[in-house]
Amino acid sequence: VNMVRAGETGGFLDKSLLTVADSFEADVRLQGQIKSAMAYPVVVLGIALILVMVMLLTIVPMFASMYDSMNAQLPFV
């Protein structure tokens, strides 16, 4: 708003509007780049969480029953 007002007052409204438009376009472009850069880590984290859940729900109980059948105590780690 201040850029438009300054452009009106100074007589260079067209240049100030182009500057504002360029600034908005740069902001939109930057937001797109940030979103695309964050997509890969989010996908990797999601897959890692799913794998951990699968391990906790399937593999750990298998080991627990195996240790139980051998009358051994399951290690903490």
Per-domain residue ranges for the chain?
A: 2-69
Tell me how far apart the alpha carbons of residues 36 and 43 are, in angstroms, rounded to a whole number. Answer: 11
Tell me how far apart the alpha carbons of residues 51 and 76 are, in angstroms, rounded to a whole number. Answer: 20
Q: How confident is the model at residue 74 (pLDDT cuts 50, 70, 90)?
A: confident
Tens of pLDDT along 16-58?
Answer: 889 999 999 999 999 999 999 999 999 999 999 999 999 999 9
The structure's pTM equals 0.57
| Per-residue three-class SS string for the chain | CHHHHHHHHHCCHHHHHHHHHHHHHHHHHHHHHHHHHHHHHHHHHHHHHHHHHHHHHHHHHHHHHHHHHCCCCCCCC
